[in-house]
Structure 1
Amino acid sequence: MYKLVVDPIAEEQTAALPDEALRPLAELFTLLETAPWSGEPYNAANPKANMLTHAFGERGLATYIVLEDQRETYLVRIEWP
Protein backbone atom coordinates (compact mmCIF):
# COMPACT_ATOMS: atom_id res chain seq x y z
CA MET A 1 0.00 0.00 0.00
CA TYR A 2 1.22 3.50 -0.89
CA LYS A 3 0.30 6.72 0.85
CA LEU A 4 -1.29 9.18 -1.58
CA VAL A 5 -0.02 12.75 -1.11
CA VAL A 6 -1.77 15.48 -3.09
CA ASP A 7 0.13 18.61 -4.09
CA PRO A 8 -1.72 21.84 -3.17
CA ILE A 9 -2.13 22.76 -6.85
CA ALA A 10 -3.55 19.31 -7.64
CA GLU A 11 -5.88 19.77 -4.67
CA GLU A 12 -7.20 23.01 -6.19
CA GLN A 13 -7.59 21.32 -9.57
CA THR A 14 -9.48 18.45 -7.93
CA ALA A 15 -11.85 20.86 -6.20
CA ALA A 16 -12.67 22.44 -9.59
CA LEU A 17 -13.59 19.16 -11.30
CA PRO A 18 -17.16 18.64 -12.53
CA ASP A 19 -19.36 16.10 -10.75
CA GLU A 20 -18.93 13.58 -13.58
CA ALA A 21 -15.20 13.37 -12.82
CA LEU A 22 -15.47 12.66 -9.09
CA ARG A 23 -16.23 8.94 -9.19
CA PRO A 24 -13.48 8.14 -11.72
CA LEU A 25 -11.09 10.28 -9.67
CA ALA A 26 -11.94 8.34 -6.50
CA GLU A 27 -11.26 5.09 -8.38
CA LEU A 28 -7.94 6.53 -9.58
CA PHE A 29 -6.98 7.47 -6.01
CA THR A 30 -7.56 3.87 -4.94
CA LEU A 31 -5.42 2.65 -7.82
CA LEU A 32 -2.62 5.08 -6.95
CA GLU A 33 -2.60 3.72 -3.40
CA THR A 34 -2.43 0.08 -4.52
CA ALA A 35 -0.77 -0.05 -7.95
CA PRO A 36 0.86 3.29 -8.83
CA TRP A 37 3.24 1.75 -11.35
CA SER A 38 0.26 0.92 -13.58
CA GLY A 39 0.43 4.35 -15.23
CA GLU A 40 2.21 5.40 -18.40
CA PRO A 41 5.66 7.03 -18.35
CA TYR A 42 5.47 10.82 -18.36
CA ASN A 43 8.47 10.85 -20.68
CA ALA A 44 8.40 8.06 -23.24
CA ALA A 45 12.16 8.47 -23.73
CA ASN A 46 12.66 7.44 -20.09
CA PRO A 47 10.13 4.64 -19.48
CA LYS A 48 11.64 3.53 -16.15
CA ALA A 49 11.37 6.97 -14.53
CA ASN A 50 9.17 7.41 -11.49
CA MET A 51 7.04 10.21 -13.00
CA LEU A 52 3.91 8.75 -14.57
CA THR A 53 0.52 9.70 -15.96
CA HIS A 54 -2.79 7.89 -15.66
CA ALA A 55 -6.02 8.59 -17.51
CA PHE A 56 -9.29 8.60 -15.58
CA GLY A 57 -12.88 9.02 -16.62
CA GLU A 58 -13.56 10.13 -20.15
CA ARG A 59 -11.14 13.06 -20.28
CA GLY A 60 -9.05 13.18 -17.12
CA LEU A 61 -5.31 12.86 -16.79
CA ALA A 62 -3.32 12.67 -13.57
CA THR A 63 0.43 13.26 -13.37
CA TYR A 64 2.21 11.83 -10.36
CA ILE A 65 5.52 10.66 -8.93
CA VAL A 66 6.08 7.30 -7.26
CA LEU A 67 8.43 7.57 -4.29
CA GLU A 68 9.20 3.91 -3.81
CA ASP A 69 11.47 4.23 -0.76
CA GLN A 70 8.78 6.17 1.12
CA ARG A 71 5.93 4.05 -0.30
CA GLU A 72 4.24 7.27 -1.43
CA THR A 73 2.49 8.42 -4.56
CA TYR A 74 2.75 12.19 -4.97
CA LEU A 75 -0.04 13.58 -7.15
CA VAL A 76 1.34 16.58 -9.01
CA ARG A 77 -1.42 17.68 -11.40
CA ILE A 78 -4.98 16.85 -12.46
CA GLU A 79 -6.25 17.81 -15.92
CA TRP A 80 -9.84 17.77 -17.10
CA PRO A 81 -10.13 19.75 -20.35
Structure 2
Amino acid sequence: MYTVGNSKQVDEQVAALPAEALAAFHEVTVFLQVAPWNGNPFIRERPDAPMRTQTFGDGGSGMVTYLIVEYRRLVEIIQVAWYG
Protein backbone atom coordinates (compact mmCIF):
# COMPACT_ATOMS: atom_id res chain seq x y z
CA MET A 1 0.00 0.00 0.00
CA TYR A 2 1.03 3.56 -0.66
CA THR A 3 0.51 6.60 1.52
CA VAL A 4 -1.29 9.45 -0.22
CA GLY A 5 -0.15 12.95 0.64
CA ASN A 6 -1.12 16.39 -0.53
CA SER A 7 -0.40 20.04 0.04
CA LYS A 8 -2.51 22.85 1.43
CA GLN A 9 -3.13 23.94 -2.15
CA VAL A 10 -4.57 20.51 -2.98
CA ASP A 11 -6.70 20.61 0.18
CA GLU A 12 -8.18 23.87 -1.13
CA GLN A 13 -8.82 22.32 -4.54
CA VAL A 14 -10.62 19.37 -2.92
CA ALA A 15 -12.68 21.70 -0.74
CA ALA A 16 -13.82 23.49 -3.92
CA LEU A 17 -15.10 20.28 -5.53
CA PRO A 18 -18.88 20.07 -5.91
CA ALA A 19 -20.70 17.67 -3.61
CA GLU A 20 -21.34 15.17 -6.42
CA ALA A 21 -17.58 14.84 -7.02
CA LEU A 22 -16.55 13.99 -3.45
CA ALA A 23 -17.41 10.28 -3.50
CA ALA A 24 -15.59 9.82 -6.81
CA PHE A 25 -12.57 11.71 -5.47
CA HIS A 26 -12.53 9.44 -2.42
CA GLU A 27 -12.56 6.41 -4.75
CA VAL A 28 -9.58 7.75 -6.69
CA THR A 29 -7.59 8.24 -3.47
CA VAL A 30 -8.23 4.58 -2.60
CA PHE A 31 -7.05 3.65 -6.10
CA LEU A 32 -3.86 5.67 -5.50
CA GLN A 33 -3.19 3.75 -2.27
CA VAL A 34 -3.42 0.43 -4.06
CA ALA A 35 -2.37 0.80 -7.70
CA PRO A 36 -0.99 4.25 -8.56
CA TRP A 37 1.10 2.93 -11.46
CA ASN A 38 -2.14 2.03 -13.27
CA GLY A 39 -2.82 5.73 -13.86
CA ASN A 40 -2.01 7.35 -17.19
CA PRO A 41 1.47 8.76 -17.78
CA PHE A 42 1.52 12.56 -17.56
CA ILE A 43 3.73 12.60 -20.67
CA ARG A 44 2.80 9.86 -23.14
CA GLU A 45 6.32 9.66 -24.50
CA ARG A 46 7.54 8.65 -21.03
CA PRO A 47 5.22 5.78 -20.04
CA ASP A 48 7.42 4.68 -17.12
CA ALA A 49 7.71 8.14 -15.54
CA PRO A 50 6.40 8.52 -11.99
CA MET A 51 4.25 11.56 -12.85
CA ARG A 52 0.74 10.23 -13.59
CA THR A 53 -2.88 11.30 -13.99
CA GLN A 54 -6.17 9.65 -13.21
CA THR A 55 -9.65 10.82 -14.11
CA PHE A 56 -12.61 10.49 -11.78
CA GLY A 57 -16.31 11.28 -11.72
CA ASP A 58 -19.02 10.82 -14.33
CA GLY A 59 -17.47 10.78 -17.76
CA GLY A 60 -14.05 11.68 -16.37
CA SER A 61 -15.14 15.15 -15.24
CA GLY A 62 -12.28 15.35 -12.74
CA MET A 63 -8.58 14.70 -12.96
CA VAL A 64 -5.89 14.11 -10.36
CA THR A 65 -2.23 14.69 -11.23
CA TYR A 66 0.22 12.97 -8.90
CA LEU A 67 3.81 11.92 -8.41
CA ILE A 68 4.84 8.46 -7.22
CA VAL A 69 7.85 8.36 -4.90
CA GLU A 70 8.43 4.61 -5.04
CA TYR A 71 11.23 4.26 -2.48
CA ARG A 72 8.98 5.91 0.12
CA ARG A 73 5.78 4.15 -1.07
CA LEU A 74 4.28 7.64 -1.31
CA VAL A 75 1.87 9.18 -3.79
CA GLU A 76 1.90 12.96 -3.65
CA ILE A 77 -1.16 14.59 -5.20
CA ILE A 78 -0.06 17.67 -7.11
CA GLN A 79 -3.32 18.97 -8.52
CA VAL A 80 -7.04 18.23 -8.52
CA ALA A 81 -9.15 19.68 -11.32
CA TRP A 82 -12.91 19.47 -11.94
CA TYR A 83 -14.28 20.18 -15.39
CA GLY A 84 -17.89 19.16 -14.81
Over aligned residues, Cα RMSD in angstroms? 0.7
Q: Return the letter of the residue paired with 2:15.
A: A
**Length, aligned pairs only:** 81
Q: Is the 8 A contact 1:41 1:48 kept in 2?
A: yes
SS of alignment partner, residue 76 of structure 2: strand
CA distance in 1, matches of 2:56, 2:40: 12
TM-score of the pair, normalised by structure 1: 0.96
Q: Is the 8 A contact 1:5 1:74 kept in 2?
A: yes
SS of alignment partner, residue 55 of structure 1: strand
CA distance in 2, matches of 1:8, 1:65: 16
| Structure 1 stretches of at least 4 aligned residues deviating more than 3 Å after TM superposition | none
Q: Return the letter of the residue paired with 2:55.
A: A
Q: Is the 8 A contact 1:41 1:49 kept in 2?
A: yes
1:11 CA drift (Å): 1.1
Q: Which runs of 5+ in 2 are unaligned?
A: none
1:72 aligned residue: 74
SS of alignment partner, residue 43 of structure 1: coil
Q: Return the letter of the residue paired with 1:67.
A: V
Q: Which runs of 5+ in 1 are unaligned?
A: none
Q: Return the letter of the residue paired with 2:56.
A: F
1:24 CA drift (Å): 0.3
